[in-house]
Structure 1
Amino acid sequence: MTDGAPYRVDCHVKVLDDRVVERATRAGLDAIVYAPHFTRLPEIRERAAAYSSEDLLVIPGREVFTGSWRNRKHVLALGLEEPVPDFIPLEAAMAEFDRQDATVLAPHPEFATVGLTESDLRRYADTVDALEIFNPKHLPSHNRRARELAETLSLPPFTSSYAHLPRSVGVAHTAFDAAIDDERDLLSAIADGVARRVIYDNGCDRWTTTTAELAHLAYENTWEKVDRLFLSGTEPTHPNHIAYDGRFDDVAVY
């Protein structure tokens, strides 16, 4: 935050290139959280560092797919010291986040079959640091439900573009009322419940974004594509991958 201005963060994007940086800068963002699917933490960190600058801080994150593909829950973890794979039970992932003292965000709660439920959020209330209350992929009823959950469970809110397409970056952001200079400051602001505002465009541009992102979601969730590319046991974030040194073999669901 500079001269009392809020620190503006798009808390969850899936893509990162020159177009994304240009779009984020044009939207007046100070930082974005980069958390692509099925990509190992060292690679995410390296790419985030390459695109960070004085004008835009890029924070590495991991949206872990817990459970099986057909019955998965997404959890967004920041500040991880060691990689955590996909396709392990929710309880195993949360225990690992606790062990590493990660900052844990709950994206798109109760959305389709991939968001944490109210029961999940109550169970892991001491682990989850913030709950997404607006997501461009959501319909209005989903966002209303997310706000209800945040209020009922007293969880600090956040929002993001959840951008899988560069054009979506910055359509929603969280403005923190805190002096933030680096990744550590941002994670502390999230975890400590620092005052923040959830800001988004709910006009025609928002619905154009929603339509494009939902179309991309339909392609991304094609079972044939997932089965062919991600469930072979050799992809980078599979728990049986050599990179995890067998630590998660006993809890892998595939």
Structure 2
Amino acid sequence: MFRVDPHVKVLDERVAERAKRRGLDALVYAPHFRRLDEIRARARRFSDEDLVVVPGREVFTGSWRDRKHVLMVGLSDPIPDFVTLDGAMAELRRQDGVGLVPHPEFATVSLGPEEIREYRDALHAVEVYNPKHRARHNDRAREVARETGLPAFGSSYAHLRSTVGEVWTEFDAPLRCREDVVEAFREGAPRRVFHRDGPVHTLRRHVEFAHLGYENTWKKADRLFLSGTEPTHPSNVAYDGRFDDVAVY
């Protein structure tokens, strides 16, 4: 068996050690508003024979008011935030990357069945459990996975260190490296989703949910998204103007 936490936002020595103590074999590290080269470097730093760290990008498509998130792994080139959903998915296809659907239909930042069907050829799994969800959100996420015919995955979606390892996706076959993890998602390899239970897990879910309010204040939106200076803005020199035709800011 091979246990993966397919979506964490934090990564340092404490996170890596916690993941190992929790019996995880791999993490997908996909922080907000970090460029792919930086994510890759940090993933390499904390990968070792006991823990595989896979670099990923949760791309913010659309504008702040009308945004949809897509978790992407297996990228060969960087994809910025604040481009149209169609533009981001076209680039994902070009790179033959793997698209995952985090928190489907959650709040105003998620893909629903209609978008999933439209981009079904580039999407490979739907998240059916994460701690930020309430019970009704997880129930609906499972329905979305069934409706669209995509395999399921579960993640800690950890923005806080203590949440790492609360949820994992367990593959039935041993995976040895980051490429193996990416291919397992691409190929729809057999897997099961597990999460911890009990009062401590409930408390951690509440803390993560409370953190969501901080993450989505208008103050942060003004500071991070609308200034045009964030490193994943399509106008950044790193993207060499390649996304100007699909940029929304």
TM over 0.5: yes
Q: Which residue of 1 aligns with 2:143?
A: 148
**TM-score under structure 2 normalisation?**
0.98
Matched, 1:185 2:180: yes
Say whether 1:245 aligns with 2:237. Answer: no
- 1:217 is matched with 212
1:119 to 114, 119, 122: 114
Distance in 2 (CA, whole Å) between partners of 1:174 and 1:163 is 14
Secondary structure at 1:162 match in 2: coil
Q: Is the CA contact 2:131–2:209 (under 8 Å) kept in the aligned structure 1?
A: no
Which ranges of 4 or more aligned residues in structure 1 deviate by more than 2 Å? none
Q: Is the 8 A contact 2:60 2:68 kept in 1?
A: yes
Determine what percentage of the aligned residue pairs are the same residue.
60
1:74 corresponds to which letter in structure 2?
A: H
Query: What is residue 132 of structure 1 aligned with on the other side?
Result: 127
| Contact 1:10–1:160 (CA under 8 A) maintained in structure 2 | yes
The aligned residue for residue 230 of structure 1 is: 225
Work out whether residues 133 and 209 of structure 2, in 8 Å CA contact, stay in contact via their aligned partners in 1.
no
AA aligned to 1:196 is: R
- Is 1:27 equivalent to 2:22 in the alignment? yes
**Residue of structure 2 in register with 1:47 after alignment:** 42
Q: 1:16 aligns with which of 1, 11, 14?
A: 11
Letter in structure 1 aligned against 2:23: G
Gap runs ≥5 in structure 2: none
Q: Is the 2:30–2:58 Cα contact (8 Å) retained in structure 1?
A: yes
Which residue, out of 198, 202, 208, partners 2:193?
198
Query: Do the aligned residues in 2 keep the contact of 1:35 with 1:60 (CA within 8 Å)?
Result: yes
Indicate conservation of the 8 Å contact 1:231/1:238, yes or no. no
| Counterpart position of 2:76 | 81
TM-score under structure 1 length normalisation: 0.96
Alignment RMSD, CA only? 0.9
Structure 1 residues 138-190: Cα deviation after superposition (integer angstroms, max 9, x where no partner):
11111111111111211011010000000000100000011211111111111
